[in-house]
Amino acid sequence: MTISANQIDERMRRFEQACRSARIKLTHQRIEIFREVAKTTDHPDAETVFQRVRERIPTVSLDTVYRTLWLLSDLGLITPLGPLRERTRFDANLARHHHFVCVRCGLTADFYSDLLDDLTLPEAVQALGQAETTRVEVHGICRACAERGPQPTHHPKTKQSQRNS
């Protein structure tokens, strides 16, 4: 919660602009849902946004929150973190390594780099807590998906495909 009022206003303006460009309706709930995410630095999940928006719009429903969050992320106004519709995966590679994750199919490949193993973190991190492990996550399109040609990075819908093996 360290966002200045100006910063929030700027984000709100960008949001309204983006909705108009996309010819998407500026509803009360969309405005408040976006404001709730734009307001904080704490990366709330859908349930948390729901609880907070509810204080101002007691009738919002959780599914509207979900729909709106994914819409906002399609518009490029917010970024989903973590469980990108993925299940937990398990890694038996105990050696120090980093990951390349395909944003389209979920393929997660290890790669190694002495350089990246030994990064210097800014002092700001010290203030946050005691760092234990540092890993570089590279997101992109894997070879196989690139060959399959351009495809929409569809979100919701059905089960996440498993492009491993």
Q: Which residues bind DNA (CB under 7 A)?
A: 19, 24-30, 45-47, 57, 59-64, 66-68, 70, 83, 85, 87-88, 155-160
Question: Would you say 149 or 156 has its CB closer to DNA?
Answer: 156
Tracing tokens 């919660």 back to the chain, one arrives at 1
Q: Which does 67 bind (CB under 5 to 8 A by kind): DNA, a second copy, none?
A: DNA
Is 131 among the residues that bind a second copy (CB under 8 A)?
yes
Identify which of residues 108 and 134 has a Cβ nearer to DNA in the complex.
108
Assess contact for 155 and 70: CB atoms under 8 A: yes
For the bound state, the minimum distance from the C-beta of residue 144 to a second copy, rounded and expressed in Å, comes to 8
Helices 46-54 and 62-74: angle between axes, nearest 10 degrees: 120
Helix H or strand E encompassing 145: helix 143-147
Which residue from 31, 44, 75, 96 is in contact with a second copy, where contact means CB under 8 A?
44
Q: What is the C-alpha to C-alpha distance for residues 106 and 101, in angstroms, rounded to an integer? A: 6
Q: Which of residues 53-82 bind a second copy (CB under 8 A)?
A: 69, 72-73, 76-82
Task: Give the C-alpha distances (Å, rounded to integers) separating 130 from 41, 133, 134.
Answer: 20, 10, 11
The phi and psi torsions of 99 (rounded to 5 degrees) equal: -125, 140
Check residue 112 for interaction with a second copy (CB under 8 A): yes
User: Applying CB under 8 A, which of residues 6, 21, 59, 133 lies at the interface with a second copy?
Assistant: 133
